[in-house]
Amino acid sequence: MEIRPYGDTLHDGAVQMSFTLPVPMSPEAKEAAKQLVHRMGFQSVGVVHMADAGENFSFFVVYAKTDAMVDFSTISVPQVSAVQLSFYGVNDYIRREIGRKVVVLGACTGTDAHTVGLDAIMNMKGYAGEYGLERYPEMVAHNLGSQVPNETLISRAIELGADALLVSQVVTQKDVHIPNLTELVELVEAEGLRDRLVLICGGPRLSHELAIELGYDAGFGSGTLPPHVASFIVQEMVRRGIK
Amino acid sequence: MRLLDIITQQALRSVAVVGLAKNAGKTVALNSLIRQSAERGLALGLSSVGYDGEKIDLVSRLAKPRIDVEAGTVLATAAATLERATAPLEIIATTNFVTALGEVMLVRAREGGSVEVAGPDSYREMGACIARMQELGCELVLVDGALDRVGGAAPTLTEGAILATGAVAGSSLRRILSRTLHTAHLFSLPEVVCQELRVAATRAIEAGRLLLLTAEGERTLPFRTALGHAAAVVDCLPLVEPCYLIVPGAINESLLSELANRPRLCRNVVLICQDPTHIFSQPEVWHKYTGCGGRVEVLKHIRLLAVTVNPTAPRGRSYPPAEFAREIALSLLPLPVFDLFISDRAVSV
């Protein structure tokens, strides 16, 4: 099934985009925005909004149409395969299948100081109506916070007997997250812990597919809630026989 | 001499292709080896640490080279990748190693075509897959290292390694050369010669405890890992006597810097670890440590067979191919260097 964006009618290819140009707001800047979008391969380009974005910068919202299509039937994206359990479901599952508390460590590693995502998953008060992992009676959750070096995360994991590591990476400019994430896996392997740990990474620019390529067990992107992560951890532990 | 000749001359049965960064040219090296093996009628096995062969780069969204196999090649790859292959694949066996893409299957290509490969998650499982492929008659098993992960080159896993480097490995030629030389240097660190020391080191590594050996005897340190305890570990070392410190897990920059900060002590210490994949250090810290007289020995080093270069970075700088390859080849002499984008033959210097 071939698809293209939907605007007013099916398959009209209508797209809305926004960007900033490094020139002051002017009729020339508007024309530049129009030509730029045209060069991207779009037709029926219309600049619907232009605004001053500070000193010598201008901001644009543009409508345009594309001819590009994708065959939706050929697309498949690997997804986290765990059964979705609730807060109570996860705790029951741990009592029944694991029989001890599950130790989870979370950290924003490397130079990353953006803890919003990690806090949403870990914090007791929770996020979007779901309790965070710290609230789970059958889990011992440690939030190590931001800018945690990989080595500290691993030494704490050994010390606390962690079952799962949650690594949050928000800053992905120039792909700085990649070497940082692969270093963690390689360190975990070097310490002989890979078979005993569920490795999870998360962040707005991380997908499950990329997590797998990096050698993690799962990746969670934006919109993830604590029970999603908890469900995966406990089921993965049972599947791998981590007891 | 071609890349495969180096492997067959040394009669190696498993080789890892690892890269210093993404897009360093691992897949190109792999495809080249697959083609040469087919010409020679060598039964080939193939697996990957992580996931490789996908059409689009998951990070940069740019097209990537596919892995093209020939008829008869055996693959250890996760179930979900099978339907994405254009080569007809026949399932030979299952492994019980489950990944996020399903169970790792041993399959054989009935005809040539492109494949995606996603091997098992852990190096232990990878070791088992290599052994299974060899049992199935593969004369050579190739292990593709994902991204910048070099762990596949561990001598406990594969008998030799090919290192892919290129314009993506650094922001300047100087930096690229420094990183490439550094990795090549780490791979070929000296092995522990003294038999007694080897026995003690093997024991400590198996027990997972740091062990200190001095003229007075041995002492088990109260640490399971040097990670996170660099200063405390270094505090345990004798001040002037020569000693060996056996580190069961990783030797990282914190430990090396801590030692380098105490030059008198650093001079007398030899760190010992399993193999070069247990060392995590950028060239700068390493040079500081060795500059103070610090040494590292390994139980087993990595047999580095060749280096391949890719003068082009998908985004960013590109270098004139001939000069780039020559520059790297000169600095790595006598190690053979290949620019497989241009020729199957080693770069002559």
The tens digit of pLDDT for each residue in B242-254 reads: 999 999 999 999 9
Counting every residue written for chain A, the total comes to 243
3-class secondary-structure state, position B159: coil
The reply to whether residue A190 touches residue B228, judged by beta carbons under 8 angstroms, is: no
The Cα of A183 is separated from the nearest Cα of chain B by a number of Å equal to 8
Residues whose CB falls within 8 Å of the CB of residue A55, separated by 6 or more in sequence, listed in order = none
In chain B, % helix, strand, coil (3-state, to 5) comes to 35, 30, 40
The rounded distance, in Å, linking the Cα atoms of A225 and B225 is 34
For chain B, say whether A238 makes contact (Cβ under 8 Å).
no
The Cα of A196 is separated from the nearest Cα of chain B by a number of Å equal to 10
The rounded distance, in Å, linking the Cα atoms of B280 and B253 is 7
Residue B73 has pLDDT above 70, yes or no: yes
Q: How far is CA B78 from CA B84, B129, B149, in A?
A: 11, 12, 19
Q: Which of A149, A155, A194 is nearest to A167 (CA)?
A: A149
Give the predicted TM-score (pTM) of the model. Answer: 0.85
Among partner residues A78, A158, A207, which is closest to B225 by beta-carbon distance?
Answer: A158
Show residues of chain B in contact with A206, CB under 8 Å. Answer: none
A212: confidence class by pLDDT, cuts 50, 70, 90? confident
For chain B, say whether A82 makes contact (Cβ under 8 Å).
no
- pLDDT at position B56, please? 59
Cβ within 8 Å of B, A 148-177: 149, 151-152, 154-156, 158-159, 175
**Spatial contact of A49 and A60, defined as CB atoms under 8 Å apart:** yes
**Spatial contact of B325 and B337, defined as CB atoms under 8 Å apart:** yes
Phi, psi of B149 (to 5 degrees): -80, 125
Task: Just list the catalytic residues of A.
Answer: 125
Q: What is the ipTM of this complex?
A: 0.86
The reply to whether residue B100 touches residue A214, judged by beta carbons under 8 angstroms, is: no
Among partner residues B147, B227, B228, which is closest to A178 by beta-carbon distance?
Answer: B147
The rounded distance, in Å, linking the Cα atoms of B194 and B290 is 21
Closest-CA residue of B relative to A179 is B148
Chain B residues at the A interface, defined by Cβ less than 8 Å, are: 21-22, 49-52, 54, 58-60, 80, 98-101, 118, 121-124, 146-151, 208, 224-225, 227-229, 248-250, 252, 254, 274, 277-278, 280
Residues whose CB falls within 8 Å of the CB of residue A99, separated by 6 or more in sequence, listed in order = A243
Lowest average pLDDT, out of A93-102, B61-70, B157-166, B304-313, goes to B61-70
The reply to whether residue A186 touches residue B58, judged by beta carbons under 8 angstroms, is: no
The rounded distance, in Å, linking the Cα atoms of A149 and A169 is 12
Average pLDDT over residues B76-86: 89
Among partner residues B99, B149, B252, which is closest to A182 by beta-carbon distance?
Answer: B149
Q: What is the pLDDT of residues B213-264, one digit of tens each?
A: 998 889 999 998 999 899 999 999 988 889 999 999 999 999 999 999 998 8
Q: What is the largest CA-CA distance in chain B?
A: 65
Among partner residues B51, B148, B249, which is closest to A192 by beta-carbon distance?
Answer: B249
Phi, psi of B101 (to 5 degrees): -100, 20
Encoding tokens for residue B254?
């914190």
